[in-house]
Amino acid sequence: MKTIKGPAIFLAQFIGENPPYNSLDGLCQWVAEMDYKGIQIPTWEDKLIDLPLAAESLDYCQELKGKIQSYGLEITELSTHLQGQLMAVHPAYNVQFSAFAPKSMKGNPIEWYEWAQSQLKYAANASKNLGITAHATFSGSLLWHTMYPWPQRPSGLVDAAFDELSKRWLPILQYFDECGVDLCYEIHPGEDIFDGITYELFLDKVQQHPRACILYDPSHFLLQQLDYVQFIDLYHSRIKAFHVKDAEFRPSGRCGVYGGYADWKDRAGRFRSLGDGQIDFKQIFSKLTQYGYDGWAVMEWECCIKSPEQGAREGANFIRDHIIETTGKAFDDFAAGEVDDIAIKRILGIL
């Protein structure tokens, strides 16, 4: 068994226009003062990283790592959640997702896709140059609008969607493999890979590619009413990244899983700050430790009630308190004695 690394924090939700949230130095100092040990960097934020330059320049990557290490921090993973989303976009979502692409590409989904491919390749090279072995992303979606089908889905629709999704991702997976980096899909509603069944569909289509891994985030499973602990039993060998995010599900006679188009705070299923929701993180950290997960525990703040500042302050201690220092000995070693072949046979009654 190995000890999980942490606490770390995903910076995406904390970027702002005012200090300390408007620069890498400011954010590093802020999170270091809360005793975080790692940062997950959203690569679409050019205040934090020049992704194309990181992909080509070892000198830049050494400088970037040195700056971050000067605050006592490490880079846990790079993230391409927004770029990954643009790998597959159904036209129904073109208006909403246009904000994820450069303004010069507004209204041109073909250019979005080409840009997303290049961004992911940059991220693979940048991760290699930074010495990072896991990367966080989304899969995108062609099929989500049929998730609750009415009328029923025509035969072959799901198969065709995953054929296309795998065709788009296989070259990227190969590229990440050449760079020695695991590509970790966040299993997330709104993506075509949103639970275990859909992840298995994707794996089948990409020939069980060894780099098609998982960013485990139990909050999305609680809101689906999926067994997030058994998920670890089923897929632990593929879990290479971990978002520590809490959630709660409190259905009523008026509102359930689908939320009634209500704002987040009024839904039955809500994201919460760490410790304020219903997720059993003791079980999660125990399971991940049992299976030898040695990656980072990265806090992602998305609470609909508590401020990000308070959520971040509390999150560091919450993660630290849940990390298990693995044992190097058995609890009953004190009762062990020297045993040889003769003694073993005597215990079995065969001598």
User: Please, which residues bridge with residue 212 across strands?
Assistant: 183
Can you name the residues that pair with 134 across neighbouring β-strands? Answer: 182
Take residue 260 and report the two structure tokens written for it. Answer: 């009634």
Q: 78 has which bridge partners? A: 41, 135
Over residues 131-180, the pLDDT tens digits come to 999 999 999 999 999 999 999 999 999 999 999 999 999 999 999 999 99
For the segment 8-23, the average pLDDT, to the nearest whole number, is 97
**pLDDT by residue (tens digit) across 234-261?**
999 999 999 999 999 999 999 999 999 9
| Residue % of the chain over a pLDDT of 70 | 99
Residue 136 in tokens: 């966080």
- Is the pLDDT at 337 greater than 80, yes or no? no
Instruction: Give 296's DSSP letter.
Output: E
**Token representation of residue 189:** 């509603």
- Residue 328 to residue 134: CA distance in whole angstroms: 27
Is the confidence at residue 330, as pLDDT, over 80? no
In one letter, which amino acid is 19? P
CB-based contacts of 67, cutoff 8 Å, min separation 6: 24, 25, 28
Strand pairing category for 269-272 and 246-249:
antiparallel
Please state the domain extents for the chain.
5-348
Rg of the chain taking only CA atoms, in angstroms: 22
Pair of tokens at residue 175: 């590229």
Strands 134-137 and 182-186: parallel
Alpha helices in the chain (DSSP H): 24-33, 51-56, 58-69, 81-85, 94-97, 109-130, 157-179, 196-205, 218-224, 228-235, 281-290, 308-322, 341-348
Q: For residue 321, what are its two tokens?
A: 């308190």
pTM for this prediction: 0.95
Q: Just give the CATH number of 5-348.
A: 3.20.20.150
- Helix/strand number for the chain, H first, E second: 13, 10
Q: Is the pLDDT of residue 232 over 80?
A: yes
CB-hemisphere CA count at 13 Å for 263? Answer: 4
What are the tens digits of pLDDT across the range 280-324?
999 999 999 999 999 999 999 999 999 999 999 999 999 999 999
CA 171 to CA 266: how far, in whole Å?
Answer: 42
- End-to-end Cα separation, the chain, in angstroms: 36
Q: Which two tokens stand for residue 98?
A: 């246009």
